[in-house]
A and B are shown apart, each in its own frame.
Chain A
Amino acid sequence: MSLIAMRMIIPMIVAAALVCSGAKPVSATMQKTLRFGYLDHPGSALFLIAAAKEYFREEGLQVELIRYSESARGLSALETGVIDVGAFTTSDSLRAIADGKGFRIIAGGGTQLSANPLTELDDALQAETDSRGIIVLIPPSWPNAEKGTIIQLTAAIIKAYRTQQQSQTRDSKHTAAVHFDPNPDYWRLERIWRSLGLQDSTMKRDFLASHVYEEIYCDALDRMLLGPIDSILQQLFSKAVCTPNCCPASAAKL
């Protein structure tokens, strides 16, 4: 797909999502501004929806979106601290991780569907298609104490996904070309990692897993499931492989 065609798709997806649901007034405790770099790509639509619908603000976050035309430049900005969060192509991001950049993947974005009917039947073709999709990363410098902020960020992306899905059921002609999924999905990434031949013999067996922060996605989803039953969230939960919480937070709660 040409760059011009790609640029045409993003506003269509975002516009469809915005038209199909009303904006909500929000009140949020603002924190410092998070600089969220994203690739100019149809798979980045969820982040634009999250900003336009004020889901970041609803989660108490002040987010500034910064557009990049190339993943390499965006990843470099993430590494040097120019941006706090990045959403770039899976293949470039995984290569950067393999090179020791230390990024952690916290969520998924969108992947353009392949026109090749064989893709779904062939793991290698599927991995190749998936490698061109978008994933969300944070740099290694994120302090553990700010885990709550990453969960809020991921929750905003999940909300954007829900809005996008609701709009897609009503107006599918523009959005069918892109598959969105906010799940970082370790096993999908592991297939891409293998297909790109990134596992070095010197790397530990859990090298990739150490860079996929699925717990954040699961925590965000868990928190959202506490609300009214929502079929879109239930579907995400069914697909996620989350470690079950076996106990209440403290014995005193029993």
Chain B
Amino acid sequence: MKRIIAAILLLALTASSGIAADLPKLRVGYVPEPAHGLYFLAKEKGYFKEEGVDVELFQFGSAAEGVAAVKAGKLDVGTFGTTAPLLFISKGSEFTFIGGMMIGGQAIIARPERLAELSGKDLKVYKGKKIGLVKLSTGDVIFRGALKKAGIDVKKDLTFVEFGSAAAVVEAVKKGAVDAGLVWPPHFSLAEKNHGLKVAHYISEFYPDYTCCRIFAHTAKVNSEPETYRRFLTALIRAYKFYKTNPEETVQVYTKALKIDEDIVRNETYVKKVADSNPDPLRKGILDFWQHILAAGYIPQDYPIDKHINTAIYKQALDSVIKKEPKDKIYQQMLTFYKKNN
């Protein structure tokens, strides 16, 4: 009996893998954040398969290891922040940005008794303060950019204390070793829930639509298989529409995939809307980000990053869904957003 069951299972597996085997494969790396959820939706709802691409998802705990896996050809797509791929490109890696996953998401946390002093609509409240952060994190780079835009001298007007992890930043804020700390989701939600800390500001209040995790791949693979990547991005565009129109099911999918508190997922994704998931490449945002890294002195020499950004494949993907549903409001909004940011 066991042999018969095994044989049936084998046949079933062979049949299903036979379908998948006909599709081009993409191995996709991501980090466990709710804002990376479009991958889970596209997988769960079957959009990848419907668009004709067989996607396998790999979760990474370290951006450095994830980018190294793309460089080594072990992954076909990477989603590991903006800084990490930019650092690799600056050192000669042939990567191309083809899309995006997360916009915004960074927050400044403080002890509750400091909240009145640090809140308000002006970044000048941080003058003279000691800010804990993870060096080269999106929050670090974008906060510096926001301060510069506000006319605040980052070298003279405030002090940055660098830590190795978001958890260490939270701990420093909790102990009062710093006045405030810059962290990303879900760390500030957890800091609020577990340690009673408060979010003083979301950086997007001062710097709207800044880039966080970007989707990138090996340039040679992008150039040789643009149709595969178009299908992949088309599936993500459809997942974006689902996320915008089906909040409750989306929360369930994210919670199941990430195994984190459902309330945190719901709050960050739909209530507080701390970050947006959006597959748009945000070319202008990447270029801005690069300039902030240079201005901070993290990289000593400029490099033409623009030639590592391909917006055409995303545009083709967007055009393909609009062609099928020309009156769809979500897709039309995506088109407007694309025109503004690329």
Contact = CB atoms under 8 A, between A and B. Distances in A.
A209 interface: yes
A237 B32 CA distance: 25
A33 interface: no
Nearest to A186: B91
Interface string B52-78: 000000011111100110000000000
A24 interface: no
Interface stretch (A63-71, A114-122, A158-166, A218-226): A218-226
- What's the dominant secondary structure at chain B's contact region? loop
Contact of B61 (A209, A237, A249): A249
Nearest to A203: B92
A238 interface: yes
Interface string A74-101: 0000000000000000000000000000
B269 interface: no
Given A241-B87, A247-B33, A254-B260, A204 B92 contact: yes
Contacts of B31: 246-247
B154 interface: no
Interface string B123-141: 0000000000011111010
A172 to B, nearest CB: 27
A243 B63 contact: yes
B327 to A, nearest CB: 38
B191 to A, nearest CB: 12
Contacts of B164: 221-222, 225-226, 237, 245
B91 A206 contact: yes
B59 A250 contact: yes
B134 A209 contact: no
A204 B31 CA distance: 29
Interface string A129-159: 0000000000000000000000000000000
Contacts of B167: 248
A209 B90 CA distance: 10
B83 A243 contact: yes
A250 to B, nearest CB: 6
B190 A244 contact: no
Interface centre among A206, A237, A243, A249 (most CB of B within 10 A): A243
A243 B84 contact: yes
- What's the dominant secondary structure at chain A's contact region? loop
Contacts of B59: 250-251
Contacts of B136: 241-244
Interface in A209-246: 209, 215, 218, 221-222, 225-226, 234, 237-238, 241-246
Interface string A102-122: 000000000000000000000
A209 B93 contact: yes
Contacts of B304: none
Given A209-B91, A225-B163, A187 B258 contact: no
B184 interface: yes
B169 to A, nearest CB: 11
A68 B261 CA distance: 58
A244 B140 CA distance: 10
A208 interface: yes
A252 B258 CA distance: 8
Interface in B157-173: 162-165, 167-168
Nearest to B60: A247
B274 to A, nearest CB: 15
Contacts of B162: 234, 237-238
B163 to A, nearest CB: 7
Contact of B165 (A187, A190, A245, A251): A245
Nearest to A233: B164
B290 to A, nearest CB: 14
Contacts of A246: 31, 33, 63, 80-81, 84, 137-138, 184
B217 to A, nearest CB: 16
Nearest to B293: A241
B328 interface: no
B337 interface: no
Nearest to B140: A244
A238 B163 CA distance: 9
Interface in B107-121: none
Nearest to B189: A254
B91 A251 contact: no
Interface centre among A205, A207, A226, A251 (most CB of B within 10 A): A251
Contacts of A234: 162
Nearest to B139: A244
Nearest to A207: B92
Interface centre among B64, B80, B190 (most CB of A within 10 A): B64
16 contacts: A186-B91, A187-B300, A187-B301, A190-B91, A206-B92, A209-B91, A209-B92, A221-B164, A222-B165, A225-B168, A237-B162, A241-B136, A246-B84, A247-B63, A248-B167, A252-B259
Interface of A: 186-187, 190, 204-209, 215, 218, 221-222, 225-226, 234, 237-238, 241-252, 254
Interface of B: 31-33, 59-64, 67-68, 80-81, 83-84, 87-88, 91-94, 134-138, 140, 162-165, 167-168, 184, 186, 190, 258-261, 298-301
**Nearest 7 Cβ contacts at the A-B interface:** A206-B92, A205-B92, A249-B61, A251-B32, A209-B91, A243-B64, A247-B31
